[in-house]
Structure 1
Amino acid sequence: MSTLTTNALIAVLVVLACTGMFFFATTRGTLIVRDLTGGRRTPESHVYPIYSRMGLIKLVDFQPIISAILLFQYPRLVSKIVNGLRATDLRGKQVLITSCAFGNVMPRTIEASLASGARKIVVADIIRNELQHARSKLETQFGSRVEYVEDDATSMKLKEGFADANIMFFLLHELPHELKIKALQEAGRMLAQGGKLYLGEFHKPGNLLFQVLSWTYFKVFEPLGLALWDSHDPVRLLQDMGGWSVERQTFFFGNFQIVTATKL
């Protein structure tokens, strides 16, 4: 191996190591330190700094980075939800986005909802900085058609049954297990009868190599996400709750899933 090739390989490894350290420090690492130091517990205590500090939000909310984290399947996952919204008659109805998400999922789903006739979209998040950042991305394009509400996905203050579609994109894997169940219960409580929940999440891969790689990723960065593979599989949770018709489509060797659940 030439010296140039060796140096290039070392440079790539250093960049990957630094990137990994950055994401660990701004996600699970911070929560570990918080627990060890006995930090004050609040309803937002489970939220990683990368999703709550405005500087970090602006730094990371960059489409190529978000696409890479989801193994470049991000456009396919969002398109599945967008196609569902476009095929739904939302004339005069309201749409809820439960928790802000990075990338272009919000503008794409809002645009699809409005194209289907929705009169208003409500974006709800427990973190004020996320809402402010979302507003800065969306306000010029959508104006007063989007309302921004500071609310907890696991204990919503919004009016029960007000929405006919609810989008929850990669939130569950970050929540403590008992809050995963509460978030799904609240997602359903917000929907009118016949309303649809569109849920994007990680999924247990079918390929053994991907299982090992995914398991390692979750153990290091997102340990709460592994429960989605078995005990807190969202499809099983919704079916156990009753009152849902549930469909699931998986993507990229089973690494990701879009769940479409209709409230009966």
Structure 2
Amino acid sequence: MNTLNALIGLFVVLACTGMFFFATTRGTLIVRDLTGGRHTPESHVYPIYSRMGLIKVVDFQPIISAILLFQYPRLVTKIVNGLKATNLKGKQVLITSCAFGNVMPRTIAASIGSGARKVVVADIIRNELQHARSKLDHQFGKKIDYVESDATSMKLKEGFADANIMFFLLHELPHDLKIKALQEAGRMLAKGGKLYLGEFHKPGSLFFQFLSWTYFKVFEPLGLALWDSHDPVALLQDMGGWSVERQTFFFGNFQIVTATKL
């Protein structure tokens, strides 16, 4: 009986968690579309990434690590090692879109450790920038500038950055905006600058493909295009002017793309 109760309790917890994430992600957009809600440049952004209360609840390292099947530290470390191996003395680094967890403090620390004089954090959502500031200011202070700007149409000066970090943004964007975001990411980089892109990837095994396909269909339907039509490596290569490397993680479920602007 105790085992049965434990299993029932686990099922209830998982069901409630799934309902919460669906309601604060895709579910909200479905309701907005059905009710004829107003469309703005940030309409595609889920409430979980735009409402301060939800941002504070979800931005908890164990939750974020679990969503990425506990591969989060490995993915961030790959980017951090790339930044540490780069001479950024006197240069600037861009973080395109805020991300939950410790990716921002870790990549900022690595950038400054490699000599960067400034890190610019850009996001279309003001609450994300305010939340990021609350996490980062005490450690980095004036080393960071916060800019309210759309990743698909940046307000910043072309070619100002020597590294650009985009961590799990593309899968959330409508397909045409995926391409625009990559174009803007390149436009912000100086020649020889590096784009570090963390994203989901098509798993190698049929078992993981089925699990991932189910997850995307329920929560992130725009992410499935990363498997084929909007594979970021293929998109960058088609644009030209890039040297691109990719490393996959955990049976191919995740990828870190390192692209150098030629």
TM-score by length of 1: 0.99
Give 1:131-170 correspondences, 5 Å limit. 131-170=129-168
Aligned length: 262
Instruction: State the alpha-carbon separation in 2 of the partners of residues 224 and 15 from structure 1.
Output: 26
Instruction: State the alpha-carbon separation in 1 of the partners of residues 178 and 57 from structure 2.
Output: 27
| 1:111 counterpart residue number | 109
AA in 2 matched with 1:209: F
Instruction: State the alpha-carbon separation in 2 of the partners of residues 129 and 231 from structure 1.
Output: 32
| 1:82 counterpart residue number | 80
Give 1:1-264 correspondences, 5 Å limit. 3-264=1-262
Instruction: Provide the aligned C-alpha RMSD in A.
Output: 0.2
TM-superposed deviation, 1:224: 0.1
Instruction: State the alpha-carbon separation in 2 of the partners of residues 251 and 6 from structure 1.
Output: 35
AA in 2 matched with 1:224: L
Instruction: State the alpha-carbon separation in 2 of the partners of residues 247 and 38 from structure 1.
Output: 42
TM-superposed deviation, 1:210: 0.3
TM-superposed deviation, 1:223: 0.1
Query: Structure 1 regions of 5+ residues with no counterpart?
Result: none
Instruction: State the alpha-carbon separation in 2 of the partners of residues 157 and 8 from structure 1.
Output: 52
Query: Structure 2 regions of 5+ residues with no counterpart?
Result: none
TM-superposed deviation, 1:232: 0.1
Instruction: State the alpha-carbon separation in 2 of the partners of residues 194 and 37 from structure 1.
Output: 47
Instruction: State the alpha-carbon separation in 2 of the partners of residues 245 and 37 from structure 1.
Output: 45
TM-superposed deviation, 1:240: 0.1
Instruction: State the alpha-carbon separation in 1 of the partners of residues 115 and 185 from structure 2.
Output: 21
Instruction: State the alpha-carbon separation in 1 of the partners of residues 119 and 240 from structure 2.
Output: 27
Instruction: State the alpha-carbon separation in 1 of the partners of residues 68 and 260 from structure 2.
Output: 26
Secondary structure at the counterpart of residue 41 of structure 1? coil
Can you list the C-alpha shifts for 1:103-150, whole angstroms capped at 9, x where unaligned?
000000000000000000000000000000000000000000000000
Instruction: State the alpha-carbon separation in 1 of the partners of residues 252 and 238 from structure 2.
Output: 22
Instruction: State the alpha-carbon separation in 2 of the partners of residues 202 and 131 from structure 1.
Output: 24
Can you list the C-alpha shifts for 1:15-40, whole angstroms capped at 9, x where unaligned?
00000000000000000000000100
Can you list the C-alpha shifts for 1:57-101, whole angstroms capped at 9, x where unaligned?
000000000000000000000000000000000000000000000
Instruction: State the alpha-carbon separation in 2 of the partners of residues 226 and 49 from structure 1.
Output: 21
Can you list the C-alpha shifts for 1:187-207, whole angstroms capped at 9, x where unaligned?
000000000000000000001
Percent identical among aligned pairs is 89
Instruction: State the alpha-carbon separation in 1 of the partners of residues 27 and 131 from structure 2.
Output: 24
Secondary structure at the counterpart of residue 216 of structure 1? helix
Can you list the C-alpha shifts for 1:172-201, whole angstroms capped at 9, x where unaligned?
000000000000000000000000000000
Instruction: State the alpha-carbon separation in 1 of the partners of residues 127 and 221 from structure 2.
Output: 25
AA in 1 matched with 2:206: L
State the 4+ residue runs in structure 1 displaced beyond 2 angstroms.
none
